[in-house]
A and B are shown apart, each in its own frame.
Chain A
Amino acid sequence: MSSELFNANPTVFSSTKSTSSRITEHSAQSLWLRDQNDNSDTESEGNEVEEIDQDEIFDLIRTIYDPEHPNTLEELRVVSAPQITVGRNHIKVEFTPTVPHCGMSTLIGLSIRVRLLRSLPSRYKVDIYVKPGSHQSELSVNKQLNDKERVAAALENPPLVDTVEKCLAKPSSVAFQLV
C-alpha cells in the first residue's frame, strides 16, 4: 500500500455536542425562554451583536479531517475549544499533533490556516502554533505556519492545495467515529 503512516493506530475520542444548542447563562440574560423550534426570531432581535467567540472558531476547525485518518481533528483531540484564544482582532489557535514525530503537523496547521483564512473577516490576525512540547520540531513547524510568504508559497502548489481541500471537505455521511 502507500507509505507508512506516522501514527497508524491513533486513539479516537468522542466528539461533544455542538455548543450552539446548549442553554447558557448568556441566553438566560433574557427573561423569556426562546422557542427552540422557532428560528424566525433572528430578525426580531436584529440589533443585538453576536461576537465571534472561541466556540465559533472551534466549530470552524473541528470538522477538518486528519490527513492520515478518516477522523476529524476534534475526534483525535488535535484541536479543542480551550486551545483557542480570541482577542479583539487577534486569534490564536493551538493544536496538538497525535505523535511528536508527526510529519503531517504542518499540513494540519496549513489546513487550519486555510479554513480560517476563508472563514474569518480580514481584520483578524491569526496565529497557529503546535502545543508547546508536543512536537519534536516545534519551532520549524510554528515558523512555517506563521510566515506569510511561506504559506502563500505553499498555496501556490497545486498538489498540496488538493490535499488541503481534501482535509477541508465536508463531513461525509459515513460516520467513522466509535461512539
Chain B
Amino acid sequence: METTERLVRTWVASGREEEIAQIAADITNGQSTLLNVVKALGEYLVSEENELRSKGVELLSLVLQQLAPTTLNRPSVRTLASFYSDKLDDAETIIPALQGLQTLATFPAFGPAEATTVIEALIRHVKMKALTQNHRFKVFSIIDSVMANHRDVLKGMGLKFLDGYLSFVEGEKDPRNLVLVFAMDRVILIEFDISQRVQTFYDVIFCYFPITFRPPPNNPGGITADDLRLALRSVVSASPLFGPLGIPHYLENLVAVGRPAKRDILETLAVSLPVYGPKVARSFARKLWNSLKLEVFQPVDSATEELAVNALQVLIRTIYTPVEGEPEEAEIEGLAKDACEECLQILREPEKSQARPATRILCAFMTTTSSVAKYTVSQAVPHLTKLFINPDEVGIRPATLVLLAQFIEAARDSSSTDSFLLPYKDEVLGALSSGLKAHNLRLPALTGLKALVTSKGLLSDQELGFIIHHLNEIIQDHPDQFDDISDGILELLSCISEVSPQRVVEQTLPILFSSLPDSAPARDAASERAQIWKNLSYLQTLCTEPQLFETLVICLTNKLELLCSSADAQADLEPSAAYAHALLKTLANVLAVKVKRKHADVAKYLERLVVRVFNLFVHAALVPGEKQAVINVDPRLLQAAAQCATLVVRSLPSSRQEPFVKSVLSALITGNVQPISEGYFKIAREQTLSVFSPTSTSAQKDLILLFTAAIIPVFKEVNLEVPNLGQFLEETIKWILEGAGSDLQRNAAVHLVSVLVNRKADELQDFLESIFTTFWAKEILDKQSPTERRRWAVVSWTWITKALLVRNHTRALQFSEKLFEVFGDASINWGAAKGVGMIPGHDDVFTKDNHAVIKILYAQKYVRVMLPRTIEGSVDGSDTTKQVAYLVALAGLIKSAPKATYLSELPSLIPLLIRGLDLPDPEIRHNVIETLLAAADGETPEKSLVAEHASTLVTSMLKNCLAAETPAANVRIAALRYLAVLPGIVRYDVLHPYKAQVVRELGKALDDPKRAVRKEAVEARTNWFKYNG
C-alpha cells in the first residue's frame, strides 16, 4: 500500500512510465490491488485543481492498460465502469476516462450491466464536436467493443442508442474513424430495427457517397481511397430500407460526377439492387433504365460502359428472378419489355452506330434470367431475320447480319442447357446461309455461322452438312472471292470439323485435293503455282483434326511418291522438286501445329509418314548411276522432311523412340536401311548405305540431315546400343573435317555429335578427355592444318561445349574458356569468338521440346564467368586482333545472355558495343544493335545510359540504315528500329541538334529497295517528326 502510494505520488510529479509499469506489475503479482491505487489516488480524484483531477484519472487508465484483461473481477470492473462514467461529465477528466473505458470495454468481466451504464453515460455526456480525432476514435472503439460483445444490450436500448449513435457519427470526417464507423453502421443496419430512423441513417451515411477521398501525403493510418469506398459500399447496400432513398441519390450523382465516381456508383448500384429487392427495383425501373442506358449509348469510356451494362443486368435479374415456389410468369411485363422495345426501335436501323449499344444491351439481357432471355431472343432475332429478308432493306443487310451474329454469340454464351435459339434456328440458318452467297455479307455470315456451330447441341449433323455445302460452293465457284475470306471460311470449317470431322473429310477435302495436280506446273506457270500454294495453305490451316490430318497425309504422300516415281528423263526437274517441297512443307507445318497442341495422333505418323518419306530419299540415294532424282534436286526438300521427322519423333514416348533411333544409328553405322525406309520403293536387302564412306555419293551423305533430325529429339534414357559411342562420335567428327561434302552435311553431323554428347555425357568421359587434349592440340591449335578444317574443328568444339553447358556439366566452362586461347590466331579467332557468344544462346536443337538434358540457369552461370573476361579483353588495346575477337565475342555473348545477367555491367558495356558497330561483319552489327535495343527497353529520358553517346549512336545508326552503305537488310531494319526508339529514351535537349539531320537522312531510307525496311523507316521518321521538347 505504501509502495503504491509512493509510486502514485512520484508519477503525478514525474509522469514517467516506469512507475506505471511498477504499479501494474505489483497488481499483477498480488503485492497490491487496484483498490490500493484508487485509495492512493483519492486526494487527486477529488482535487479542486483541474490538472490534478485529470492526472488522477489518467494514472488509473494507464495502469488499466498495462493489466492483463483477466486480472479484474466483475465487481471491480463494475466499480470502474461507473467511476469512469461519472468522470465523463467532467471536462477535465473526460479524456483519460475515455481512455480507461476503451481498455475496460474489452475486458471479459465487462458485462451487460456495465455496457448499459457506459453507453448511456457516453450518450448523456459526450459531445463529439468538442473532441479531437483520436478521442473520437476512443468513443467509437468503446461502442465497437460493446457492439462486438453485448450487441443485445444495444438492441435493447432501442431508439435511445440509435439516436445517441447517430449524434456521434454525424459529421465525422476522419478516414480512420470512418472505417470503424462504416463497419458499425453495417452491423446496425443489418441487425437493428432502424425502421423509425431510416431517413437519419440515410443522411449520415449517404452524405459520403460517392466518396472522393484522396489520401494526404503522409496518410496517417494508411487508409486508401479503396478501403473507404469498399467499406462505404458495404454500408449503403446493407439495408433494403435504403432502397427508396438510395436509388435517387445514385441517379442524381451519376450524371454529376467524374469517371472514377461514376464507376463507383455503377458498381455500388450493382451490389445494392439485389439487397433493395425487386419491389424497389421495379418502382425505379424506368428511371434506372433511363440513366443507365445513357452510359451505354453515350459511354465515357469502355470500362464505364461495361459497368453500366452489368448494372442493367443486375437490375433485370433483380426484377425478374422468379420467386421460389411461384410459377414463372409466362408474360414479360414492365422494364424488360419496354427496354427491349426501345432497343428494337433502334434496331430498325441496324446500320446506324446506335445499333451497336442497343445490341449490346439486348445481348446483356440474355445473361439475366431465362425468361427474359427467351423473351429478348423472341423479340430481337425474328426482327432481324425479317429485316434481312425484306427486299426493300437490301442496303442494310450487312449491318443486320453483324448484329444477328452478335445475338447468336450471346445466346450461345448464355444458355446452359437448351439454346434459346432453337425455335428460330431455321430462320437464322436461312439468313446466314443466304448471306454466304453475297460478297459483302460473307464476313458477318461466317461470324454468325461460327457462333451457331459452336452452340452446343443446336445444329444437327445434317445442318452442318448444309453449311459445308454452301461453303464448298464459295470455294468452288468463286475462288477469287474465297481467297479474300479464306480465313473466316477455314475457321468455320475447322469448328465444324471438331464436331463432325467426317462431313468435312467427305465434302470439302476432295475439292481442295482435286485442285492439286499430280505433276508440277511448268516453270512459267506462276498463276497455277500460286493456286496450288493457296490450296496447300488452306489445307494446312484446316487439317489439324486427327481425321482430317490422316486424309491429308494419305493424299500428300501419294502425290509425293507419284512425283518421285514418274519423273522421266525430263530435263527440268526443278519445278517437280519445288512442288514436292511445297507438299513436304505443308505436312511439316501442320505437324508443327499439332505438336504444339499436343495431339496424340502424331505418334502414329512414324510409320505412316516419316518412314515413307525416308524411303523416297533413301531410294534416290541408293539407285546408282541413274539420273538425278527429283528428291535430290535441292536441299530444301531434305530440310522439310527432316522437320517432319523431328516433329514426329519428338512426340513418341521413349519406348517407341528406342527401336527407331537404334535403326537410324544402325543405318549410319552398318548401312542397313530396311527398318527405316519402307514405302513406295522396294529396297533390296543387299543394298546398303555408306554415308560415312569417303567414296559415298553426295546424295547418300545428305541423308545425315534426315538421320540427325530423327535423333535430335531423343530422350536421354533411350538405349542407343552403339558398341562404342565415343569411337562413333570421333569418327563422325573426323567425317565432318574430312569426308562431308557440304556445310549442310557438316552442320547436321555437328548437331548429331552434340545431341549425343548432351544425352550421354556420363558415359563419354574418355571421349571428352580425348577431345579436350588431343583434338584441341591437333585440330585447332595446329596451324599446319588447313584453315577450313580448323574452322570446322572450332564449330564442333563449340557445339560439344554447348551440349555440356546446357546440362551444367562440370567440364563445360573448361571447354568454353579454352576458346580464348585462339583469340590471337587470325585465321580462326573470328569463329572462336562467335562460338563464345553462341554457346549460351537459344537454338532449335537443345530445347525442352526436344527432350534435351537442360538444367536451369546454365546461361547465367556461363555469363557470370565469361562476361568479365570478355569485357576485360575488349578493353585491352594491346593486341588489335585479339581485341576485335573479344568485341565479337562480347556482341554475341550479350545477344545470347538473358538481360538480367549483364544489366549491372551495362554502363561499361555500351561504349564497347558502340565500337562493335564499326566491325565489318553485318551479323555482328546486327547483334550489337539488337543488344542496344534490348538495353533500351526500360530506359527513360530521365535516366538513360546512352545519352552521352547520342551523337555517335545517331551517326552510326544512320550509316547502318541506308541501303547504299549497308547491304544487309536485317541490319538496316535493326538500325531503323533503334533510331525509332532513341527519341523515347534520350532527353530532347540532348538529341535535338540531330533532329534535322536524322529526318533528312531517314528520307533516304524511305526509298529503300526493301518494303520491310521502308516500313521501319516510316516508323522511325514519324517518331522523329513528333519529337518536340
Residues of A within 8 A of B (CB): 8-14, 16-17, 20, 22-25, 27-29, 31-33, 35-36, 39-40, 42-43, 46, 48-50, 52, 56, 60, 69, 118-123, 165, 168, 174, 178-179
Contact = CB atoms under 8 A, between A and B. Distances in A.
Contacts of A31: 523, 529, 574-575, 578
Given A10-B353, A17-B487, A121-B1003, A42 B1012 contact: yes
Contacts of B1004: 121
Given A9-B352, A119-B1022, A33 B530 contact: no
B582 interface: yes
Nearest to A40: B970
B517 to A, nearest CB: 14
Interface size class on chain B is: 35 or more
B1000 to A, nearest CB: 10
B992 interface: no
Interface in B951-991: 967-970, 973
B968 A43 contact: yes
Given A8-B353, A56-B1011, A174 B970 contact: no
B443 interface: yes
Q: 8 closest A-B pairs (Cβ-Cβ)? A: A28-B530, A121-B1007, A31-B578, A9-B352, A49-B1009, A119-B1018, A33-B582, A42-B969
Contacts of B447: 179
Contacts of A12: 353
Given A9-B352, A165-B1026, A42 B527 contact: no
Contacts of B483: 22
B503 interface: no
A98 B993 CA distance: 43
Interface string B62-83: 0000000000000000000000
B402 interface: yes
A12 B1006 CA distance: 32
Contact of A33 (B351, B581, B1012, B1014): B581
Contacts of A168: 1022
Contacts of B530: 23-25, 27-28
Given A28-B529, A42-B1010, A168-B1022, 19 more contacts: A8-B353, A10-B353, A14-B443, A22-B483, A28-B530, A31-B578, A33-B533, A33-B582, A42-B973, A43-B968, A43-B969, A56-B1011, A60-B1018, A118-B1021, A123-B1007, A174-B302, A178-B399, A178-B402, A179-B444
A121 B536 CA distance: 38
B903 interface: no
24 contacts: A9-B352, A11-B399, A13-B398, A14-B443, A20-B1011, A22-B483, A23-B534, A25-B526, A25-B527, A25-B530, A28-B530, A33-B578, A33-B581, A42-B1010, A43-B922, A46-B969, A50-B1009, A118-B1022, A118-B1025, A121-B1006, A121-B1007, A165-B1026, A168-B1022, A179-B444
A120 B973 CA distance: 17
A46 B970 CA distance: 10
For the complex, would chain B's binding face be called helix, strand, loop or mixed by DSSP majority?
Answer: helix
Interface string B156-183: 0000000000000000000000000000
Nearest to A174: B302
A179 to B, nearest CB: 5
A17 B483 CA distance: 11
Contact of A178 (B356, B575, B1018, B1022): B356
A106 to B, nearest CB: 21
A27 B526 CA distance: 8
Nearest to A123: B1007
Given A42-B969, A119-B1006, A122-B1003, A50 B444 contact: no
B539 to A, nearest CB: 13
Nearest to B356: A178
A32 B351 contact: no
Interface string B518-546: 00000100110110011011000000000
Q: Could you tell me the dominant secondary structure of chain A's interface residues?
A: loop
A119 B529 contact: no
A46 B1018 contact: no
Nearest to B403: A178
Which among A17, A22, A33 has the greatest number of chain B C-beta atoms within 10 A?
Answer: A33
Contact of B443 (A123, A174, A179): A179
A17 B922 CA distance: 34
B402 A179 contact: yes
B486 to A, nearest CB: 9
A69 B354 CA distance: 13
Given A25-B530, A179-B444, A33 B585 contact: yes
Contacts of A33: 533, 536, 578, 581-582, 585
B1008 to A, nearest CB: 9
Contacts of A20: 1011
Nearest to B636: A32
B1011 A50 contact: yes
B484 interface: yes
Interface string B572-587: 0011001001100100
B484 A16 contact: yes
A120 B922 CA distance: 27
B744 to A, nearest CB: 15
B965 to A, nearest CB: 13
B219 to A, nearest CB: 33
Interface string B350-382: 011110100000000000000000000000000
Nearest to B1000: A122
Contacts of A16: 484
Interface string B632-650: 0010100000000000000
B1006 A120 contact: yes
A29 B1003 CA distance: 31
A24 B1022 CA distance: 30
B578 A32 contact: yes
A119 B585 contact: no
Contacts of B398: 13
Contact of B967 (A8, A46, A49, A60): A46
Interface string B469-508: 0000000000000011001000000000000000000000
Contacts of A119: 1006, 1018, 1021-1022
A35 B578 CA distance: 12
A172 B1018 CA distance: 18
Interface string B770-800: 0000000000000000000000000000000
Contacts of A32: 578, 581-582, 634, 636
A122 B1003 CA distance: 7
Contacts of A10: 353
Given A42-B969, A174-B302, A35 B575 contact: no
A36 B590 CA distance: 13
B396 to A, nearest CB: 9
Contacts of A120: 1006
A60 B487 CA distance: 23
Interface in B388-411: 398-399, 402
Contacts of A69: 353
Nearest to B1018: A119
Contacts of B444: 14, 179
Nearest to B301: A174
B968 A28 contact: no
A9 B354 contact: yes
A119 B574 CA distance: 40
A179 B404 CA distance: 12
